[in-house]
Amino acid sequence: MNEIYQTYYNSPLGQIELTGTKEGIISIMFREDGEQTKDIPVVLAECYQQIDEYFQGKRHSFSFNYVLNGTEFQNKVWAELAKIPYGETVSYKNIAEGIGNVKAIRAVGRANGKNMLNIVIPCHRVIGANGSLTGYGGGLWRKEWLINHEQKNMGCSKM
């Protein structure tokens, strides 16, 4: 098994734990506190830098390696989430339609909740069909902040 490394980014929304192996990032999650690995691999340093650029409003997409560890259905949902443009929102129904299963709205919501790559796989961009903010593991206040942050920075030069 690959060795697991962790580092922490202090965002405007609190501490974010970045976890990965030498091959790729496996999770980006809001945490209260944690213990940092002394020497981190290049991919973790790249992730840290790109998350910092995101919060500065300079980065709209990510290019570091990451690893999705989900079921076939979850991976399909996460791939659809990754297509949501920066600064835009869609409904759970839109995601269900995008994966070709309009009746899977609740299953899409559950898969969305299992996403371990916050911000990078932009589950925060999924809202209720009526436009309301619904379900976000990091808290609805963070979801609202992230959506507003992206909408505010849409016109900025992007990487």
Catalytic residue numbers read: 123
Token representation of residue 16: 């974010």
**Amino acid symbol at 105:** I
* Separation of alpha carbons 115 and 150, rounded Å: 19
Q: Which distant-in-sequence residues (6+ apart) come within 8 Å of 50 by Cβ? A: 59, 62, 63, 64, 159
User: What are phi and psi for residue 25, nearest 5 degrees?
Assistant: -80, 135
